[in-house]
Amino acid sequence: MIRLKVEYLPGDRDAPPVRLWSSKTGATGADVDRCRQAFLRRFDVERTYRFWKQTLGWTRLKLAPKPARPGPGRPPGIPNRRPAPRYDVGKTVKRGRTLAALQQSGG
């Protein structure tokens, strides 16, 4: 973990320290400086992409209102080409008495 602290900022501002991660152990001053430069370049590239996206309008809301009426579907007067499939009810258990018959007999 590399911790960088800025000594001076214009306008007498105080900057929080920046923490960078490196997998290299025993980093020298040159290694720390190279990590700092890489961070600043990455920061510049990210800001550049953000600026381009804003310029091209890619950050604006995409308003796509739904149509007020449904699509055309099947035109009137044209019959269906194939009938809807019919399925069996699927009753498989034969019951001795119905619920109404059980209530009438009191059982």
pLDDT tens track for 30-86: 888 888 888 888 888 999 999 999 898 888 877 777 777 777 788 888 888 888 888
Tell me, what's the pLDDT at 107? 57
- The DSSP output letter for 12 is T
Residue type, 37: Q
Q: Is the pTM of this model over 0.85?
A: no
pLDDT reading at 10 higher than 60: yes
Query: Domain residues of the chain, as ranges?
Result: 2-56
- pLDDT for the residue numbered 48: 92
Question: Is 95 a residue whose pLDDT tops 70?
Answer: no
Cβ proximity of 17 and 5 under 8 Å: yes
